[in-house]
């Protein structure tokens, strides 16, 4: 049975001023946003729940992806209060597909001491378009006209102001997953903003949610804004996140049957 995920339904008025909710890929002199704060954390996960390879760098966290690979966004709430998580992938809101704006858009409700696994851009109350790594040119954000935001996943966390509502009905059982789509094009192309991977608007996948009321403690001020970044191995190496492995394989005891150390030639 899939974990129950709730989507917030109460629409709140926007404030007159609002900070930019879209994280910027490091490389232009700006420090990356942290992947956790206030106890909440953001990660990229494999479909089985395991984390993708992650590499800390300059205060940020970079995940290593492979073209054609499917992933999910995981947000953890280790606090005793329900929170709303407004999530963006490549600068695009995962519920509406619009450019991220944590005052305008709503998100997923995470129960106390719980987590949410978001598998794609939401198409309906019953389905999402799978998150799948692809070329920057084929990414959803590029095809929607915002290629400059490829390579980053963000979340804004809003604690709840009121006691939780009455429990909602349990959703239908989770059926067998749809057949995997073929990996994307192998053409790397010219990476915009330095990233060599983007996130595709992939095949439709069953993912059922229900709506529930949720009032933010501070509507225009999230308690935390977190971000993680991703790229393929080559892109991470070019960025300096990864260092190329040595071409040799040194051994501590490579053999030899000498009793004493001879002089060098």
CA angle at residue 94 from 88 to 95, to 5 degrees?
Answer: 135
Q: What is the pLDDT of residues 175-215, one digit of tens each?
A: 444 444 434 433 333 334 478 999 999 999 999 999 999 99
Q: Which residues pair with 211 in a beta bridge?
A: 7
Residue 254 has pLDDT above 80, yes or no: no
Q: What is the phi/psi pair of residue 138, to 5°?
A: -95, 0
- The predicted pLDDT at position 249 comes to 61
| Longest CA span, the chain | 82
pLDDT tens digit string along 89-138?
Answer: 999 999 999 999 999 999 999 999 999 999 999 999 999 999 999 999 99
Look over the chain and give the mean of its residue pLDDT values, rounded to a whole number.
80
H or E element in which residue 93 lies: strand 92-93
For residue 142, give the H/E element and its range. Answer: helix 140-143
Interval 26-69: pLDDT, tens = 455 567 899 999 999 999 999 888 889 999 998 999 999 999 99
Picking from 238, 208, 193, the residue whose alpha carbon sits closest to that of residue 90 is: 193
**Per-residue confidence band for 247, with pLDDT thresholds at 50, 70 and 90:** low
pLDDT grade, residue 21 (50/70/90)?
very low
**Which band of pLDDT confidence, cut at 50, 70 and 90, is reported for residue 242?**
confident
Q: What is the mean pLDDT of residues 246-260?
A: 69
CB < 8 Å & 24+ apart, contacts of 175-183: 175/206, 177/47, 177/205, 177/206, 178/203, 178/204, 178/205, 178/206, 179/203, 180/70, 181/130, 181/132, 182/68, 183/67, 183/68, 183/69
Residues 122 and 131 sit within 8 Å (Cβ to Cβ): no
Pairing between β-strand 127-134 and β-strand 120-122 as defined by DSSP bridges: antiparallel
């Amino acid at each position: 049975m899939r974990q129950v995920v709730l989507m917030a339904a109460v629409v709140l008025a926007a404030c007159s001023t609002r900070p930019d909710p879209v994280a910027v890929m490091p490389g232009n002199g700006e420090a990356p946003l942290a992947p956790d704060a206030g106890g909440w954390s953001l990660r990229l996960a494999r479909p089985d729940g395991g984390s993708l390879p992650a590499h800390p760098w300059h205060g940020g966290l970079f995940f290593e992806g492979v073209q054609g690979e499917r992933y999910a966004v995981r947000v953890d709430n280790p606090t005793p209060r329900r929170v709303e998580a407004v999530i963006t992938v490549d600068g695009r809101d995962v519920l509406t597909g619009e450019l991220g704006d944590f005052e305008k858009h709503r998100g997923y409700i995470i129960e106390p001491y719980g987590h949410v696994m978001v598998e794609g851009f939401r198409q309906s109350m019953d389905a999402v378009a799978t998150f799948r790594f692809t070329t920057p040119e084929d990414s959803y954000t590029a095809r929607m006209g915002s290629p400059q935001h490829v390579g980053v996943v963000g979340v804004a966390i809003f604690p709840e102001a009121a006691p939780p509502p009455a429990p909602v009905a349990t959703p239908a059982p989770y059926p067998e997953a749809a057949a995997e789509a073929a990996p994307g094009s192998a053409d790397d192309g010219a990476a915009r903003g330095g990233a060599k991977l983007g996130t595709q608007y992939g095949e439709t996948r069953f993912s059922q949610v229900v709506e529930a009321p949720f009032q933010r403690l501070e509507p225009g001020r999230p308690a935390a804004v977190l971000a993680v970044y991703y790229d393929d191995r080559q892109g991470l190496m070019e960025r300096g996140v990864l260092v190329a492995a040595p071409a040799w394989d040194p051994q501590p005891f490579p053999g030899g049957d000498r009793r004493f150390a001879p002089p060098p030639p």
